[in-house]
């Protein structure tokens, strides 16, 4: 019988939070990509979404909002609730089977429209940070074998089986969706003892599974990487990849809160969120948002202006969109205001800037 959540972290959860400190773990920087499958699967098992989200600080609307950002603490708390409340020990495997391309936003459409499975895999592993993974993930090819590998760098303890089976089940499902046929790995290697639902692993993951291994791997035939994808579309793939690239540009040494705001703004091109809306997405008050940005040496308006300028410059340089359309996609309701802002940013009119760069 699943235990009722208490609204506070379990002892194991508290230990995890203590080990990782209270710095970045509290900053909203993690995407919700892929997470709705966990909540939806539990709902199908009779566990209300409110119970799954209790004590996490995540609202029902935020869990399905691609622009919303969670802290690591919130994501760990969500996994903790899922593991404790599920009446089915194979919850991670089942949730992975529910994954759909639209749940991953523009990131998912890059995978779907890639030319080959190999291109989709390479893009996915390069941009995996967009999903805010709880496992460190990598990909490599050894001879005829392609390998997805994970590392438990956060010492997840009892949450490791859930995180692992959710990841691998999601990969098998998404690979099947972009290929439009069942995807069959060679085998799985898992670094923990066989759980109570071990007999269901081979059936759901579609391959032999070895528990208690020295590594966390999904192996499959490297020849599959050359397979053409049925929904390949080079224009869609290129535009979507550029968009994801812009989202990742800020990842580096920049303040995590500033990164989160920039990514959300880029994902809302044409409708830049107000400070109040952004604060709600990040689960903080508007006053706290402004205070934290001031502590980081910037302001919400400065960040918005920077994003608008970068987007406007890119559209002027790389597209033939009219100035009116670029103004709209840069978040300006009035083209004259866009021209004034652009002149302030660059000292040039948009038309003159485009002509010189042309």
Reference 117, options 237, 228, 232; nearest CA is 228
Instruction: Evaluate whether the domain defined by 11-226 bears CATH number 3.40.50.
Output: no
Is the confidence at residue 18, as pLDDT, over 70? no
Helix axes 11-20, 72-85, angle to 10 degrees: 160
Average pLDDT value for residue range 137-160: 90
Q: How far apart are CA 82 and CA 43, in angstroms?
A: 11
* pLDDT computed for residue 235 by the predictor: 67
Strands 187-189 and 209-210: parallel
Q: Which fold has domain 236-357?
A: Arc Repressor Mutant, subunit A (1.10.10)
Note if the pTM is more than 0.85. no
Spatial CB neighbours of 101, under 8 Å, sequence gap ≥ 6: 108, 109, 111, 112, 174, 177, 178
Phi, psi dihedral angles at 326 (to 5 degrees): -65, -40
Average pLDDT value for residue range 251-259: 65
Helix axes 300-318, 350-357, angle to 10 degrees: 50
Reference 90, options 38, 151, 47; nearest CA is 38
Q: What's the mean pLDDT when you consider all of the chain?
A: 82
pLDDT bracket for residue 329 (50, 70, 90): confident
Least confident of 34-38, 45-49, 233-237, 348-352: 233-237
- State pLDDT tens for residues 301-312: 988 888 888 888
Q: Determine the 3-state secondary structure of 203 from DSSP.
A: helix
Reference 326, options 280, 275, 285, 270; nearest CA is 270
- Scanning 267-299, the segments in alpha helix (DSSP H) are 275-281, 286-295
Least confident of 125-129, 149-153, 337-341: 125-129
Domain positions in the chain are 11-226, 236-357
Q: In this prediction, what percent of the chain has a pLDDT beyond 90? A: 39
* Order of all β-strands in the sheet with 145-151: 136-142, 145-151, 216-221, 187-189, 209-210
Least confident of 20-29, 93-102, 140-149, 214-223: 20-29
Reference 221, options 118, 125, 108; nearest CA is 118
Q: Give the 3-state DSSP-derived string for 50-80, with helices as H, strands as E and coil as C.
A: HHHHCCCCCCCCHHHCCCCEECHHHHHHHHH
- State pLDDT tens for residues 161-170: 999 999 999 9
Instruction: Please count the CA atoms within 13 angstroms of the CA of 227 that sit on its side-chain side.
Output: 19
């Amino acid at each position: 019988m699943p235990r009722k959540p208490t609204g506070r972290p379990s002892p194991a959860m508290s230990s995890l939070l203590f080990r990782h400190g209270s710095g970045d773990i509290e900053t909203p920087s993690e995407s919700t990509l892929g997470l709705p499958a966990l909540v939806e699967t539990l709902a199908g098992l009779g566990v209300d979404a409110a119970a799954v989200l209790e004590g996490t600080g995540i609202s029902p609307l935020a869990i399905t909002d691609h622009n919303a950002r969670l802290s690591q603490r919130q994501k760990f708390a969500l996994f903790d609730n899922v593991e404790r409340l599920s009446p089915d020990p194979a919850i991670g495997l089942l949730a992975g089977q529910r994954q759909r391309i639209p749940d991953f936003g523009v990131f998912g459409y890059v995978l779907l429209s890639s030319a080959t499975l190999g291109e989709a895999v390479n893009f996915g592993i390069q941009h995996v940070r967009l999903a805010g993974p709880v496992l460190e993930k990598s990909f490599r090819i050894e001879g005829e074998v392609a390998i997805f590998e994970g590392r438990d760098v956060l010492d997840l303890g009892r949450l490791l089986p859930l995180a692992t089976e959710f990841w691998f089940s999601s990969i098998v499902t998404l690979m099947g969706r972009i290929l439009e046929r069942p995807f069959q790995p060679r085998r799985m290697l898992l670094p923990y003892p066989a759980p109570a639902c071990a007999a269901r692993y081979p059936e759901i993951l579609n391959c032999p599974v070895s528990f208690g291994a020295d590594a966390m791997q999904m192996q499959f035939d490297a020849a599959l990487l050359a397979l053409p994808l049925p929904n390949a579309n080079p224009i869609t793939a290129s535009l979507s990849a550029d968009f994801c690239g812009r989202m990742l540009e800020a990842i580096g040494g920049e303040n995590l809160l500033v990164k989160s705001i920039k990514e959300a703004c880029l994902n809302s091109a044409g409708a830049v969120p107000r400070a109040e809306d952004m604060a709600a997405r990040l689960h903080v008050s508007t006053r706290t948002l402004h205070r934290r940005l001031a502590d980081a040496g910037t302001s919400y308006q400065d960040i918005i202006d920077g994003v608008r300028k970068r987007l406007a410059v890119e559209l002027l340089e790389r597209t033939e969109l009219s100035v009116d359309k670029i103004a709209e996609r840069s978040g300006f309701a009035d083209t004259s205001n866009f021209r004034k802002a652009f002149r302030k940013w660059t000292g040039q009119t948009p038309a003159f800037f485009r002509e010189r760069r042309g």
